[in-house]
Structure 1
Amino acid sequence: MADAGEVVRAANIAVPHGFLDAAQSDARQLSLAIGEAEPVFVEQVHSATAICVDRPFKDAARPQVDAMATATPGLALAVVTADCAPVLLADSQAGVIGAAHAGWRGAQGGVIADVVERMEELGAARANIAAAIGPTIAKASYEVGADMRAAFDPQDFDLFEATGPDKWHFDLEAYVVRQLAAAGIESVCPLGLDTYADKPRFHSYRRATHLGEPTTGRQISLIALPG
C-alpha cells in the first residue's frame, strides 16, 4: 500500500472534515481530519435510513443505518466505503452536520433525502447546506447488468452508457449529485476520485473481487463539529 497522502477536503465545507485514503487509518491522520472530535460509527447495511445522534455508540450497539446527522459539538460523523459514495454535509451557520454512505441502493431508496431531513430537524436550512462526495467508483470502472438498469426510472437512464449486450457503465457519483439537487442542496462538490482505478491509493470492493484479493479494506470519511 502506498504511503498516506494529504487528507482530502472539499472547499465548500467550512467545518473540520476529511476523506481519508487506504493508508490513513492511524490516529494522526484522523486527528488531521477532525481535530479533537470523537468519531461516531454505525453499522452500514446499504439502507436508506438516517438518524440523529448525540453520542458515540459501542461496537455491539451500533444501529443499522447508513446516514447520521448531529448538532452536538465534539462529535465527528464517520462513514466507511470501498466503492460506494461517502457524502459529507454541513450547515455551518446552524452548526449541523451530516454524513451518508450512499451505494446505488441507498441513494435510490432515499438516504440523501433522509439525512437532509434529519439535519433540518436539528435546525439546518437546506439553502445553507453544503455537500461533498468523496472517493467512489467512477462511471468508467462501474460495469453493471441490464437488471440493475431496469431498477431505475427512465429519467435516470442517461447515467448509463451501453458497453455491450446487456452491459452498461453507471455513473454513481452523478446519481448522488442528482439526489442532492433533488433534496434542495445547491452547493455540491464531487471530488471525482475513482476508487477502482487508483489501486495504490484506495480500497475497492469490486476491484478486490475481480482480482481475487481480500475485500475487507475500507476508507474512512469524517465530518466534525468542534467542541
Structure 2
Amino acid sequence: MTQQQWTAVDTYLTELLAPADEVLTAALRDSDAAGLPQISVAPNQGKLLQLLAQVQGAHRILEIGTLGGYSTIWLARALPADGHLVTLEYSPVHADVARGNLARAGLDKLTEVRVGPALDSLAELVDEGAAPFDLVFIDADKANNPHYVEWSIKLTRPGSLIIVDNVVRSGRVADAATTDAAVQGTRAALELIARHPKLAGTALQTVGTKGYDGFALARVLD
C-alpha cells in the first residue's frame, strides 16, 4: 500500500460517509487563511469523534487542543441542546479563529474556548469544581500527553471516554530508545493507560490522508 492508495480510500470513504458541508469547509478555509498548521483531524476521523460522543450520550465534552475548531465542531454537533464543550487552546490567534468558526456553525452557545497553557487550564477546571466530562479528546502537544491523561482522569467519571490522538507517530512509538519528546510523551501516556487502575484502554493504528498514525481509547472505571 502507498500514501496515494490510502488517500484514495480516504477520499472515497469521506465522500460517502462524512461529506463536507459549508461550515466545515469554511472552518478549514479560515484556518488556512490565518496561517494555522494543516493538522486538523481528517473528516472521517471527525465523524468518528462525533459518533463516539453520540454513542457515549455525552452532555459534557473536554477537548485539549483546539487549533481552528474543526474537530470542535464535529464534537459539539453531538451535544444535546443543554450540552457544553470546553476546549483548551494555547494560542490566542488559534482561539480567535476557532471562536469565529464555532459562531458560524451556530455552536458558540454550546462551546467555551479557554486560552493559555492547557495544564494551567486543566488545574483551573479542577479548582473550579467543574462537573465531570463524559468524553475527553486529547490532541495537543504530545510531550505532555501523560499529564493530560492524568488531569483527564480527575475531570471525568466512571464510564467516561478518553481519546488520545496521534499515538503511533509514523511507527516511532515502538522505539523505546527514542529521544523525540513527542514520542516519549506518547509512550508515557500509553504506559499510564496500561497500568492505571482506573483505566481500561487500547490503541489502534490508522492510515489515510494524514499518513500512518493511530489513536488510543480509554474508558474510566469505577
TM-score category (smaller protein): 0.3 to 0.5
Q: Which has the higher contact order (CA 8 A, sep 6+)?
A: 1
Q: What is the TM-score of this pair, normalised by structure 1?
A: 0.39
Query: Which of the pair is proportionally richer in helix?
Result: 2
TM-score of the aligned structures, taking structure 2 as reference length: 0.40
